[in-house]
Each structure stands twice: as C-alpha cells, then as structure tokens.
C-alpha cells in the first residue's frame, strides 16, 4: 500500500511545479466529461519535461499509476485515474515556435488549441483538426485521443497532422517518435514484422477509425510512422512533452451552406454525395438539438457545409454549388462572419445541449462517437434508431456526417441496477451493429473505459492480444493509464453517479427543472468545460472568475465537481460544512452567466446561495454578510433617520472609512459609495401627483434598493420617460406597521402619496440570496408578496430598473417560494424598462440621439432577462454600436468584499474597461446596473448611465448635465420638508 505522505514529500522535493494531494485537487480530477469517476492520489502540474521524468521515476518505484490530463474534456473516461494525475494546462501550455515556411508549429501538451490557432493566424495558417471544444481542449489531449473536429473532411484527424513527438516512457527513456521507425521502443519493429498479414487485413478502412492502437501505421508501405501510431493511445504508451505539428493554409474567405432535410437519415444519405465538391465541413444535426429561436431553413434535420475560397465571391459560389447538388427541402447560404459564428455555435453547443432530452430528461455519453463508412451512414442511423426503440431508449444523433461519425447522448438510467444492466446490453448490441456496418466503435473521442471492453467484437481476440503486446513494449510495468485500451475495466464499473445519494437532500430552492433534487442539479455539469474558455466570447459572460484566475476550482465545472464530491462524501467528507467547497465558491461572482452560457444550464449562482445557506446555518457569518447582505435594512434605517449627509461626510474621512471597512469586512481598496440625500420614493411623494383618473396605461415602478438609496436619478429619469411615453406610473403599495392601510386595494395602489409613508417596503431579496441568507430572503419575499397583492389584482406590469433585482424576481422568487402561486404571478409581471416601453407604449418613439454607445450589458440581463428589447430601443433612439459582454467584476456584494479586489478588477479589465477607454468622447456610456456604474466610476473615473437617464436627457426642456434637474428638485423638496 502506498504511503501517501511519503509519496507527496518525495514529489515535492523533486518537482518544481505544484504538487497537490489535498481534497480540492483530488476532487477536481475525479471526472472528465464521461460517465466515469476515479479518485486520484494527487495532482502534479509539471513545469517541464524534467518534472515529468521525476514524477515517472518516483511513481515507478512505488508502482503508482500516472495519468496525463489536458483540458479534462474526454468523453470515454481516459482522463481519470487512481494514481498521480499530470495537469499540463498550468505550465506546459505554450506554443514554442511557429515556422511558416515549413508550415509547422512546436507546442507543449497543455496548450489550448485556440492559442495555437491564434499563433498561426498571422501567417495565414491554422491547425486543421478543430473539435467543438477548441476553446479548452489541449494539443496533448487531442494527440492522446486522435481528435478530429468538424474540418476533418478537409484536413484529416490529429494523427494526419503530426510530424514528430517528444515522449517520455514510464521507465524514463526519452524518445522522438516520427517516420521510418524513428523513436520506436525496442522490439516494436520486430513485433510488426511478425504480424504484417494481420496488420494489413485486420483494420477497417474508414476516415474515422480511432479505436484501438493504430499499429497499421507502422506498416512499411505507410512509412513506419511511429508518431502516427502513438496518436490515439490515450496516454497508455508514453507521456508527451512536446509535439511538432503540421499547419494548413486557412481559406481567405468562407461561406456556410445550411441545408434542410426531412429527417436525419435523409441528411446522412446526402452527406457522402457532397464530398466530391471539396467542402471544409459536412456536419449534421436534427431539430431536437436546435434552439427554437434559431433562424434555420425549413426542415427537421440540417447539414452545415462550409466552403472556402480566395475571395468571398468564390466561397459563396462554392456554397451555392453545394446547395444545387444537395437535394434539399430548403437552404441558406451565409457569408457574414458574425452570422456564421452564431450558426456554428448551435452545432458546437450540441455536446452539452444533447445531455438533456426535449422534455428535460437526462441523457448521457457512452456511445458518443461511433463511425461507419460515410456511404453507409443513412442505413446505420435507421438501424440505430430501431435498436434504441427496442431498448426503450431515446437519443438524438448529430455530428460529422461527412466522415460517417455520429455523436449521441442517450437517456440511459445509470442510477439503478436495472438501468445499468440495460446500458450494458445496449452497448454490446450496438457494438455488433457498428461492426456489421464496417465501422469503428470510436470515431473521435477514443475508447477509454466506455468502449475498450468491446474491442474484441471489432478486432477479434488475436488483434487485441497484439495491442497488449505493443503496450508491454512501451510500458512493461503497466504504469501509464492502466485500464484503458488493454485489460480494461468493465464499461459499467466506476460510474460517477453511483456515489451520489439516492434520495434528494433537503434544500431551500425548488429546482423545478431538476425535480427538486439538488443532486440532479449538480449532475447537469457533464464536463464539456465551456466555462474554461478564455478567449473573448463576445456577448457571453461565463465564467469570469476562471478567466481571471485560470484555476479549475474557479470554473463552473470545477465548482460543480466539488459539489458532486461533497454529495458523494468520499473525498470531501464534511458535507455542507466543507471548507473546500466554500473556498471555491468564494470567488464565484454570482453573475448567473452559466445559467445561459453553459450548454446544460448549470446555475452556479443558485448553487452557491444554497451552499452558503447550509454552510452557515446556526453559525457566525463573515462580516460582509451582515453589512452587504442586509444592505436594504441598513439603507432604510439611514433614510428614516435622514443621516445620509452625516454618513457621507464620515466616509470621506480616510481613517474613519478604513476602520469602518475593516469592521464591515469590506475591501480596503474600495471607496464607500455616497448615499443619496433624498431617496427616490421621498422625491416621488413630493412631486405633483396625477389623479387616479388621469389617462394612460398603469405601470408599477419597482423602487429597488439601489435606485431608492444610491441612484435615485435613475428612478426620476425612468418616471420622466415612462410618462412621456403616455404611461401612468405608480409605485408598489406600502403600509404602516402601526396603523392599518388607507383605502381599499385599488385606491392604495393608485394614490402613491397616501401609500408611500412609513414602513413595509417591497424588496426582491437579492442581497440576502447572494449571501445565502435564504430564510431571511423568504421572509422578505413573503412580505413583498403580501404588499403586492393589490398589484397582482390588476393587469399592471411591474417595471424593474435594476437588472439584478429584475432577475431575482423572475428567477429566485418562484424558486424560493415554489408553493406560493403569487410568486409565479409576480415573476411573470416583471419587465425591464425597455420591455415596458416596447409592450405598453408601442407607438411612442424615443428622442433621436444619434450617438455611439459603449458600456456593458448587465450579466443578469444577459443570463436571465434578455436584452433584445434594449437593443431595439437603442436603435430607435439612434444609439449605435454594441455593448460588451462579460461581467463588470463588482457584481453586487462580490467586489466590495475583502479579498476580492484583484479578481474584481481583473474581470473589469477583461471586457468592461477596454471598450470604454477606447470610446469616442461623444459616446453614451450605458450600464444599467448600479454595480457596473460603480465599477466604472471607481476604476476608470467615468460615469456610466442607465438607458433611462440617456433617454430622459434627450427629451430636452432645459436638461443640462445628467441629474441636474432632478437634483435641483430634490434640494427644493428637502428645503420644503424642513420648514416649520
């Protein structure tokens, strides 16, 4: 038995990179994107090849297995192991050299594919294979799995694009596999010479044969290519430390033909016929995987056929030739780069989207990527559907139709003994079906544990025995990734779901999409790791903390893995009290970006709130939870006592401010924002009020905490614009706590002067939710629903100006109070400012401003609310340009909490600040969220504005600087209120 403390000590003494045997590091590496889970002893992030050699030597002495891991997106289980896991993404992640003349690049195994593409692009070159995970998969992982991607019909598999490798064997030998037996281990040539007949006849010929070892690449007529033979070996033969790969010329122009067909079989049968036209891609998918809002040609299945050319006209002409040859129901040709990217995102997200059936049922990999000869794909798909039906299963195929490679997630029941048994029987029968069509069990993702047990059905026992002999020549001690490819574990062992609790754990949120089961919510994360993408994602938000730190535990996937292990109780043993989970969630900004950007809708903001609720139950909380989490309470007290001017003066004194921030748990680097001298509702009470019978459709303006106490100018501007649009504005009812309400429900609603005195304010509960004070949040929300009953008796929409508050009412409210029908009724009434104008004042036209814009779409608006109405309103006002995506980094309480300054500012620098700094002087800086405006003011010294403020300014009538008129009104109201 291995002495873990001694192993850890030896590794730390010998390795310059990080050595981590703690629960967090182990938990993060238990799974890849497959159905399997294996717990490692520890994780090492080597600095260089010498570190790798040291790990291999120490582990060999102790018979500890070693598993190489890149992005952890493998779908067959080969990136998991029970020994030491090597994480190459931390340090060995560079493009070392590009040679445009030779069209090659020299790379380290942990470099993400998109980084190689960026290095090659200035030379008009690219790496040909490009899996849909190109933003996070690594070259080492691609070589280990012989990955392919959408462009393999043009540029082949990874093995087709590898020139030379640098490899360390388990016994420390440094080899350089290449052609003509270069870098072969001793005895490999003799093994091949003795098996030439078997190697020439025992391997099916098809473009996507990935299963097993590629020993046929060692045939003399194929150049005895040891590097090519090494590709697809899944880390079982040697550890890759460098690779020289080929680059191809990137087309100067591209076009995309989207071809509509009656069903997937029709699309599959057409795919092979398009190959002679020389397309770059022939990808297929069916309607079940396509968002309902997608603008695709008519049909129930589609082929995405990309063409290239030296000019845009040439690429379009090639695409139009494809359409003429395709025999389609309908077709669309797209040349605009942004439109092409949007269509490709539909296809790339399928690996995550497919994990949910249309009715929300879970679906899983396991038979993710079989491949058959392209000409037989249509017939294979029909028989595949028949087999699914015979087993009572469902799945939606998609994938690389031009190469005969099909991806599919199937609604296996992997939680019960009966379901696992059916999974095994189906797998065996499907393997036989694939072989009957001359196919390969794996066409892209490798065999791993998912398919290696079935390799004898494809190759026969003798060829599989040959694989074992080859493995023994490279790795005689069976040290490297044991249990993969040869002598495999059963395909139904080590299933990652087996360790989860069988009964739902008690939780605060309703989790309606997951049947109220927190474990099912956590299972949503299948590991495709879109959250680990680090290139600028346009409008996308997920995952800002990972993009700032680059650490797996700060990605949505990493946090989901830790929650999975918390529920499992093996690696993380203290449940909701886990410090490992708490620390990983600490840097979650609760931006909700994953709710929309994750292909399977993981909602880490909700999971974080749930965890904090349980973690601190009955215990003292961090100081910031009392100060920021209960901010509405403190601000209402300030307003009632009219102490805002005094508090602002005290906050301006640096020693006092520093002491206050220290006591309150706030970041010392942050300035304390000033409080409004006059809250929004006080201004509202003192303005001339329209009578109950005044014209215009009634809308109820929600006085959120930020608008009320910190940015009342936004509320005043919104009132002005809404009334200019012909709407009649009221505020929600309030009531005194010491005397009964005045009037009946309707008069209380329509007479704001009588209503807005005293206490009993509505609140969305946002700050309580974000700090996990869910019992308090529910109390606040129930009181709010009581107050809002008169509103719910009318047809009036509820206009919420602060996007985070609107998102809380739409999303958190019904999930925290799932048994109160009023919660859903209020959530359905909530509209943004732009939505209100579009739906309830459709004839109104905003003032024509004709100015460029810069700024940021609020992360909660992106994730929960949507910004289509805002875009249309900006366009109608002549506000041109795009707002950036991402998250501002302040994110409510997050950026104010002690210890978050560096991540908060890094998030702002990632997408918010650069376009604002580059904006022209006359640009309107639009940031509807109070946090975003505060971040801009504190980090860039500029004032962002709500869209309502910009439009109100455009109404004219003597408006000067933003807020001047309303501030003057506020001063007059204050003077009037102080007269005896």
- The residue count of the chain comes to 980
Higher pLDDT, 535 or 476: 476
pLDDT at residue 208 greater than cutoff 60: yes
CB 593 within 8 A of CB 347: no
Closest alpha carbon to 600 in 929, 350, 300, 927 = 350
Instruction: Provide the pLDDT for residue 376.
Output: 95
Q: What is the pLDDT of residue 527?
A: 94
| Mean pLDDT on 876-889 | 95
Question: What local confidence, expressed as pLDDT, does residue 734 receive?
Answer: 80
**758 pLDDT exceeds 60?**
no
At 604-637, the pLDDT tens digits run 999 999 999 999 999 999 999 999 999 999 999 9
| Average pLDDT of the segment spanning 23-47 | 97
Q: Please state, in angstroms and rounded to a whole number, the distance separating the CA atoms of residues 227 and 231.
A: 7
| pLDDT tens per residue, range 529-561 | 999 998 766 678 999 999 999 999 999 999 999
Element (H, E) at 301: strand 301-309
How would you write 775-842 as a 3-class SS string?
HHHHHHHHHHHHHHHHHHCCCCCEEECCHHHHHHHHHHHHHHCCCCHHHHHHHHHEECHHHHHHHHCC
Q: What are phi and psi of 402, to 5 degrees?
A: -65, -25
Cα pseudo-dihedral 320, 324, 327, 330, rounded to 10: 40
pLDDT of residue 536: 61
Least confident of 284-288, 523-527, 656-660, 952-956: 284-288
Q: What are the Cα distances from residue 416, in Å, to 412, 413, 421? A: 10, 7, 9
The partner residues of 18 in beta bridges, in order of sequence, read 45
| Whole-prediction pTM | 0.92
Residue 222 predicted with pLDDT over 70? yes
Residues 6 or more apart whose CB falls under 8 angstroms from that of 690 comprise 728
* Residue from 157, 11, 1 nearest 82 by CA: 1
According to the 3-state scheme, what is the secondary structure of 46-88? Answer: CCCHHHHHHHHHHHHHCCCCEEEECCCCCCCCCCCCCCEEEEC
User: Which percentage of the chain shows pLDDT scores above 90?
Assistant: 86
Query: In terms of pLDDT, which residue wins out, 791 or 962?
Result: 791
What band does 351 get if pLDDT is binned at 50, 70 and 90? low
Q: Which of 700, 717, 710 has the alpha carbon at shortest distance from 762?
A: 700
What are the backbone dihedrals phi and psi of residue 961, each rounded to the nearest 5 degrees, phi first?
Answer: -65, 150
**427 close to 420: Cβ distance less than 8 angstroms:** no
């Amino acid at each position: 038995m291995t002495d873990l403390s001694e192993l850890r000590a030896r590794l730390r003494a010998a390795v310059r990179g990080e050595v981590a045997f703690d629960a967090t590091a182990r938990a993060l590496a238990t799974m890849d994107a497959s159905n399997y889970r294996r717990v490692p002893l520890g994780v090492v992030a080597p600095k260089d090849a010498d570190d790798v050699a040291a790990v291999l030597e120490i582990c060999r002495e102790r018979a500890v297995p070693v598993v190489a891991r890149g992005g952890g997106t493998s779908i067959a289980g080969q990136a998991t192991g029970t020994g030491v896991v090597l994480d190459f993404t931390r340090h060995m992640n560079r493009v070392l050299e590009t040679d445009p003349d030779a069209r090659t690049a020299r790379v380290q195994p942990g470099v993400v594919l998109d980084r190689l593409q960026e290095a090659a692009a200035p030379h008009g070159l690219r790496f040909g294979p490009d899996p849909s995970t190109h933003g996070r998969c690594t070259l080492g992982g691609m070589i280990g799995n012989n990955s392919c991607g959408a462009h393999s019909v043009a540029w082949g598999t990874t093995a087709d694009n590898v020139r030379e490798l640098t490899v360390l064997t388990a016994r420390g030998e440094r080899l350089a596999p290449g052609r003509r037996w270069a870098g072969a281990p001793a005895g490999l040539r003799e093994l091949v010479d003795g098996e030439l007949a078997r190697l020439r006849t025992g391997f099916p010929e098809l473009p996507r044969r990935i299963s097993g070892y590629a020993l046929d690449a060692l045939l003399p007529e194929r150049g005895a290519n040891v590097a090519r033979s090494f590709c697809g070996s899944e880390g079982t033969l040697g550890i890759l430390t460098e690779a020289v790969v080929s680059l191809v010329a990137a087309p100067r122009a591209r076009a995309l033909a989207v071809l509509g067909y009656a069903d997937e079989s029709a699309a599959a049968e057409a795919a092979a016929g398009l190959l002679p036209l020389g397309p770059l891609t022939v990808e297929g998918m069916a309607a079940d995987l396509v968002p309902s809002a997608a603008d695709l040609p008519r049909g129930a299945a589609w082929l995405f056929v990309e063409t290239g050319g030296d000019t845009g006209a040439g690429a379009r002409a090639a695409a139009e030739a494809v359409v003429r040859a395709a025999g389609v129901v309908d077709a669309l040709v797209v040349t605009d780069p942004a439109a092409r990217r949007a269509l490709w995102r539909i296809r790339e997200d399928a690996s995550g989207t497919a994990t949910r059936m249309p009715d929300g049922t879970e679906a899983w990999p396991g038979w993710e990527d079989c491949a058959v000869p392209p000409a037989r794909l249509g017939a294979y798909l029909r028989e595949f559907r028949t087999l699914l039906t015979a087993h009572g299963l469902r799945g939606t195929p998609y994938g690389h139709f031009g190469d005969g490679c099909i991806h599919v997630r199937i609604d296996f029941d992997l939680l019960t003994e009966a379901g696992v048994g059916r999974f095994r029987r189906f797998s065996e029968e499907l393997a036989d079906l694939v072989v009957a069509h001359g196919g390969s069990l794996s066409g892209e993702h490798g065999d791993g544990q998912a398919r290696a047990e079935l390799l004898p059905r494809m190759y026969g026992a003798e060829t599989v025995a040959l694989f074992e002999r080859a493995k023994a020549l490279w790795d005689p001690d069976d040290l490297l990734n044991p249990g993969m490819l040869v002598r495999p574990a059963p395909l139904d062992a080590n299933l990652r779901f087996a360790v989860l609790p069988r009964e739902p754990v008690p939780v605060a949120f309703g989790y309606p999409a997951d049947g109220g089961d927190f474990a099912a919510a956590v299972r949503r994360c299948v590991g495709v790791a879109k959250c680990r993408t680090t290139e600028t994602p346009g409008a996308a938000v997920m995952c800002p903390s990972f993009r700032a730190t680059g650490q797996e535990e700060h990605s949505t996937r990493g946090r989901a893995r830790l929650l999975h292990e918390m529920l499992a109780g093996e690696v993380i043993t203290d449940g909701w009290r886990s410090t490992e989970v708490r620390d990983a969630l600490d840097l979650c900004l609760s931006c909700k970006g994953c709710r929309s950007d994750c292909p399977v809708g993981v909602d880490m903001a909700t999971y974080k709130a749930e965890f904090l609720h349980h973690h601190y139950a009955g215990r003292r909380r961090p100081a910031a939870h009392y100060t920021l989490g209960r901010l509405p309470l403190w601000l209402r007290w300030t307003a009632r006592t009219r102490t805002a001017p005094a508090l602002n003066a005290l906050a301006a004194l640096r020693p006092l401010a520093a002491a206050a921030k220290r006591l309150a748990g706030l970041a010392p680097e942050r300035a304390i924002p000033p409080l409004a001298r006059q809250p929004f509702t006080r201004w509202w009470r003192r303005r001339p009020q329209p009578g109950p019978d005044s014209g215009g459709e009634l809308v109820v303006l929600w006085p959120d905490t930020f608008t009320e106490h910190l940015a009342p100018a936004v509320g005043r501007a919104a009132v002005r614009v809404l009334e200019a649009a012909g709407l009649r504005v009221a505020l929600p009812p309030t009531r005194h706590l010491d005397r009964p309400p005045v009037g009946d429900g309707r008069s209380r609603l329509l007479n704001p002067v009588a209503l807005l005195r005293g206490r009993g304010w509505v609140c969305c509960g946002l700050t309580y939710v974000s700090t996990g004070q869910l019992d308090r949040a529910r109390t606040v929300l129930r009181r709010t629903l009581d107050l809002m009953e008169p509103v719910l008796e009318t047809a009036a929409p509820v206009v919420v100006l602060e996007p985070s508050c609107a998102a809380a009412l739409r999303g958190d409210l019904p999930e925290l109070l799932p048994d109160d029908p009023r919660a859903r009724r209020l959530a359905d009434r909530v509209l943004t400012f732009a939505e209100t104008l579009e739906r309830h004042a459709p004839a109104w036209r905003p003032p024509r401003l004709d100015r460029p814009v810069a700024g940021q779409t609020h992360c909660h608006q992106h994730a929960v609310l949507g910004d289509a109405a805002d875009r249309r309103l900006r366009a109608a006002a002549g506000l041109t340009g795009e707002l950036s995506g991402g998250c501002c980094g302040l994110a409510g309480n997050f950026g104010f909490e002690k210890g978050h300054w560096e991540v908060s500012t890094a998030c702002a620098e990632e997408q918010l600040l650069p376009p604002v700094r580059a904006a022209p002087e006359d640009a309107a800086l639009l940031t509807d969220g109070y946090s975003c405006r505060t971040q801009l003011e504190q980090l860039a010294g500029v004032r962002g504005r709500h869209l309502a403020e910009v439009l109100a300014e455009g109404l004219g009538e003597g408006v000067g600087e933003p807020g001047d008129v309303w501030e003057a009104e506020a001063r007059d109201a204050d003077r009037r209120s102080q007269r005896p």
